[in-house]
Amino acid sequence: MRGSTAGLTVSGKGKSPAHYALLSVLDSSLAIFILSPAVVGYWRAVWELMSIYVYPEDPFTSALVSVIFGFSGHIIAGLYQNNFEKWLDPDKRRLTYLIGSRLYTIIFACACVNTWRGIWLLLDTYMESEILLLTSLIASVVALILMRCTRNLLAVPFCIVNDSVQSYFEIPTFYRVPSCEKNRPAYVLDCLFSVFVIGTLVVFVWRGAWVICDIYLYPDDEGSSAIGSVILGYIVTISAFLIQPLMKWVCEKTTGLLRLCIADIYFLFAFIGTVNVWRGIWNVLNLYYLPDDPELSCWSTHTIFLILLILLKCSNSVLVRGVYIDAEEPDGKCVVFPCYYLRLYFQNERIKKHCLQLQSLRRKSDISCGDFTKVKSMQHETTAHLCTCHMTNESVTNHITVNIPLMNPIKECNINDNHDATL
C-alpha cells in the first residue's frame, strides 16, 4: 500500500494542462472514493474471518498463528522475489503468469493482513494502559522519522498500486542491498530488518493512532465515532490533496534537512487522514453491513472488493510491502502521492499511438526523403513529449520506456497491454 515517486520523470501532460489537471483530480477521486472502501473492506474481511476461524476462544494463540503466517509470507516474498519473476514470466507463459500473479497477490495479501493482526492483538494483550500506548506511539514515530521512513505510514487513499507486469514482484528493502548471490547474506539481513523492524514500527503507530480515536472520538457511541472518523478522515485527506501543489512548491525551494522536515510533517498530516478513513469505513461496515451475520458480511465484502480490485487492475493496492525513504525523490516530487491510474492509461495510449505510426512507416519498403523527414520529426515529437516515464506506485513499479534513436528511424516497436511499451 505504500508508494514512492522516486525515479519519476513524467512527460504525460500532453498539449492540454487542463486535461492533465482533470485526470489528476479523477485519479485522486478514484483513490479516495472507490479504492479506499474496497481495500479497507478487503482487509476487514480477512482480519475478521481469521478471528472467526482461527482459535476464536484463544486470542493469544490466534494472534501467534497470524504472526507466524504473516511474517513467513513477507520473508518468502522478499527473499524469492527474483525467483517469482523467473517462474512467472509473461513472455514465456502468459496464462501461467496471469493465474500465478493473482494467486501471489491473494496469498501475500492474507499474509500482510495477518502480520498486522498478530502484532496488533499482541499489543492489545500486553499494552492496555494509555501511558504505554502513548509511549509506544511517540517512540515509534520518532524512530521512523530518524530512519527517514515516515512515508511508510501511508496507504490508500494516498497511493494506487497498479497490477503492471513490470516489477510485479519487486519489494524494495531499507538498505537497497542487491539480491544477487554475492550479497545474499547482506540481502537476507536487509529483508529481515525491513520486515521485522520497519514493518513492526508502522503497526505500532497505526494501532496507537487508532486506539486514541477509540478513546477520544465519541467513545460511548460507536456509530457517531465511526461516522466521525469517516468525516474527519475525508476532510483531512481532501485537504492534503488540495495543498499538495503548495507543498510541492515549498519543497522545490528548500533543500537538505528543512526539506525533509517539511515532507515528514506533510506525511504525518496525511497519515491522520489515512487512519481515520480506514477506521471509519471499517467500523461502519461492522455496524451497518449485515451486523447480525458477521461471517456472511466478511465473505461478501472479501469477494466483491477483491473482484473489483482485480478488474480495475489495482489488486496490489491491498499489499503492504517494501520500504520507502522520505524525500528520496528530487525537488518537490518528494511530496507527490503515487496516485496514477487514468494518467498512466492515457500516457500508455499516446505511446502506443506513436509506436503504431512508426510501425506503419516501417512496413513501407522504400522511404523517400520526405518520409524520412517525417519519421525524424515524429521521433523528435515523441522524445520531447514522452521521453522516459518510470512510475513507482507503492511497492509496484510501472515502467513506460520510450527510447528513440534519432540516427536509426527504422526500428521495431513492441507493445503490450500491461503498461509496458518499448521502442
> Mean of the per-residue pLDDT values for the chain?
85
One domain, residues 116 and 197: yes
Whether the pLDDT of residue 24 is over 90: the answer is: yes
Whether the pLDDT of residue 123 is over 50: the answer is: yes
Domain count, the chain: 2
One domain, residues 316 and 387: no
One domain, residues 367 and 220: no
pLDDT band at 284 (very low <50, low <70, confident <90, very high): very high
In which domain, by residue range, is 145 found?
17-335
One domain, residues 83 and 113: yes
What is the biggest distance separating any 2 CA atoms in the chain, rounded to whole angstroms? 81
Cβ–Cβ under 8 Å, residues 233 and 280? yes
The kind and range of the H/E element at 247 are helix 244-253
What is the model's pLDDT at position 164?
Answer: 85
302-342: per-residue pLDDT in tens? 999 999 999 999 999 999 999 999 999 998 999 999 999 99
One domain, residues 192 and 247: yes
pLDDT band at 14 (very low <50, low <70, confident <90, very high): low
Tell me the average pLDDT across 163-187: 89
386-402: per-residue pLDDT in tens? 333 333 333 333 333 33
Query: Cα torsion for 322, 325, 331, 336, to the nearest 10°?
Result: 50
Whether the pLDDT of residue 103 is over 60: the answer is: yes
Cβ–Cβ under 8 Å, residues 250 and 262? yes
What is the model's pLDDT at position 362?
Answer: 79
Q: Which of 283, 302, 335 is the last residue of a domain?
A: 335
Q: Which of 306, 335, 364 is the last residue of a domain?
A: 335
One domain, residues 211 and 179: yes
| Cell 528511424, residue located | 409
What is the model's pLDDT at position 33?
Answer: 97
